[in-house]
Amino acid sequence: MARIKIDIDHRICGGGHKVDPRACCKCLRACAPAVFTLHQSFGVVEKDPLDPQLWSISVLWPTLCNRCLKCVEVCPEKAISVT
């Protein structure tokens, strides 16, 4: 089976950049098999480690993607690409 490549542009979404994924989450909700995951950003320093404020979205289960491309449609910043 050909590998599916789902890219999220982390220069736009998450990690303290333009969009805070916690306020959007449109791709998470649009995805029927729930392949995305929301997690604390890696490689950043939190002011309060007990209450982290910097979050990112990653693709955790790419093999379950059914290529419906709804995530690409709903992303307001056009930050997701599926190839």
Partner 1 sequence: MKHGAGGKWYLNARLYSEEVARKHNLREFLLEQYKNFEQIPVRKVHGFDPKNLGYTLRIPIIGRLAKHTAEKMLHSERPPKNPFHADGHIGQVVPLEDGIAILQSCAAEPIIEKNCMCRFMSRGEKEACCINFGVMSEIVDKLPRFIPEKEKYHLTRDEAVQRFREHNLKGYIGTIWFGPFPYINNLCSCQSPECAGLRPRVDFGITSIHKAEYVLAKDESLCTACGACVARCPFKALSVDKKSGQVLLDVQACYGCGVCRHVCPTEAIALKPRDEVPAVAGRY
Ranges within 14-73 binding partner 1 (CB under 8 A): 21-22, 24-25, 28-29, 33-34, 36-40, 42, 49-52, 58-64
Supply the minimum distance, in Å, between the C-beta of residue 41 and partner 1: 9
SS (H, E, C) 18-45: CECHHHHCHHHHHCCCCCEEEEECCCCC
Supply the minimum distance, in Å, between the C-beta of residue 48 and partner 1: 9
Provide the binding-site residues for partner 1, judged by CB under 8 A.
3, 21-22, 24-25, 28-29, 33-34, 36-40, 42, 49-52, 58-64
